[in-house]
Structure 1
């Protein structure tokens, strides 16, 4: 089978050479230079990779989609994606493509949670990943390492996934779309390094909130009753707290806090409206799917 390793890269001159060299042992290598201002392109070409360059930074999603288009146009059977910063070990590529070669899966995700390597993940990352993984499970009923960029997929997956996400939410988008079209998904264990030169291209907090906001939108689209039901429940909790606060002094003084009781009434109305909206959107979502 023809294998293409797609490596999205942005200002990775310190690591791109070794990542490309190791990856070339397992297939052709395409580096999508997403607007780097350093020598990423020159080093990748010198080592032997094919390079597609964006003149401006467009984000990881656009870089990967450009790589997928290239793979389809060149009739590759399997595409592997991995990060350019050295976090992933290219020598583990055979483990990712094996389930595809054996026709056991269409999309394979390298998981940090299957071999105990999650213990090496910094605490703040572990917390963020837990939130994003649970959010992905709410949207898809699939529990995987949803943010892992080390993946392999066959040509069928490339042709049928209609990816329309931006930035780093493309990893979650793949899982959502794969669930929709019954793509066979499997995880295999991988190791990840965090002592790499360029740890963060983007502030990890803003990155996490960006992905989370996209994920909340997906949950609202796929399972609106769940999302609006949760928001409705929170509104009722706030209403209950305000009602207790407003009525608590009545037994002692015979007086109540009118402002808090008005607030309780407002949040009760909001909770009812959110629940009705969730029911309505849930019916519409089912009609659209059918």
Structure 2
């Protein structure tokens, strides 16, 4: 199996080297490659990654998380990877769970697998405001689709070749995680979760502040509802 870890990164010089080292040090059953999608960082993110001899795609302009992640899927599709795994560049996603993420795909039980911190409720559980948003979104997705996802905002996920091709062609742009779940569900594919333990960000700053959180909830809610309407209309 050809497996690729996609790491979108924007100004993650405080975290990225440690994350890459962790991924490289773990002995996986399958060979795991890494590609860094450098989203126009203004710090040393790109140069640090290149010094560690991993593939780096330096974007010519800042595309945001959706555009950066889709670039990773385009890279995966171009190079014919069987499985792609999203891992955030801030170090919150523990690479020890990569094999747990891909196992349901290897067994043919799932097309996309999400790493959820809310199955066993261990480790970093995010901020209070974000937990409220997650609670709201998981119930909205459940009401509209019947799908029970405990951690719809988790960017720690693995996808098979079919999902790679879909995301390479079309991927939500702003705060894409919940919307992409709806999209894959609409395609008739299987989405599942496995428990993971996440870490708190060690350095740098999150791009999500109070104002962005409000925008996030409104934008994602509308996107999810419109996706449901689109499915019923066609």
TM-score of the alignment, normalized to the shorter chain, above 0.5? yes
User: How many aligned positions are there?
Assistant: 227
The farther-off stretch of 214-223 and 105-114 is: 214-223
The partner residue of 1:202 within 188, 203, 208 is: 208
2:177 is paired with a residue whose SS is helix
Match of 1:92 in 2: 97
Shift of 1:83: 0.6
Shift of 1:157: 1.2
Q: Give structure 2 stretches of 5+ with no counterpart.
A: none
The partner residue of 2:140 within 118, 135, 138 is: 135
Match of 1:157 in 2: 163
Q: Give structure 1 stretches of 5+ with no counterpart.
A: 225-283
Match of 1:126 in 2: 131
Shift of 1:88: 0.8
Q: TM-score, normalised by structure 2?
A: 0.89
The partner residue of 2:47 within 19, 42, 51 is: 42
Match of 1:215 in 2: 220
Q: Check conservation: 2:182, 2:224, Cα contact below 8 A.
A: no
Match of 1:10 in 2: 10
The farther-off stretch of 190-199 and 174-183 is: 190-199
1:52 is paired with a residue whose SS is strand
The farther-off stretch of 177-186 and 159-168 is: 159-168
Q: Are 2:199 and 1:193 equivalent residues in the alignment?
A: yes
2:203 is paired with a residue whose SS is coil
Change (3 A) 1:101 1:109: same
1:153 is paired with a residue whose SS is strand
Shift of 1:55: 3.0
Distance 1:91 1:3 in 2: 15
Measured against aligned partners, the alpha-carbon deviations of 1:229-268 in whole angstroms (never above 9, x if no partner) come to xxxxxxxxxxxxxxxxxxxxxxxxxxxxxxxxxxxxxxxx
Change (3 A) 1:222 1:59: closer
- 1:228-239 alignment, distance < 5 Å: none
2:153 is paired with a residue whose SS is coil
Distance 2:228 2:57 in 1: 38
Change (3 A) 1:100 1:206: same
Q: TM-score, normalised by structure 1?
A: 0.73
State the structure with bigger RCO (CA 8 A, min sep 6), 1 or 2.
2
Q: Are 2:84 and 1:76 equivalent residues in the alignment?
A: no
Match of 1:115 in 2: 120
Change (3 A) 1:154 1:129: same
Structure label with greater radius of gyration: 1
Change (3 A) 1:120 1:69: closer
Distance 1:119 1:191 in 2: 7
Change (3 A) 1:285 1:67: closer
Measured against aligned partners, the alpha-carbon deviations of 1:15-44 in whole angstroms (never above 9, x if no partner) come to 101111222345100000001000000111
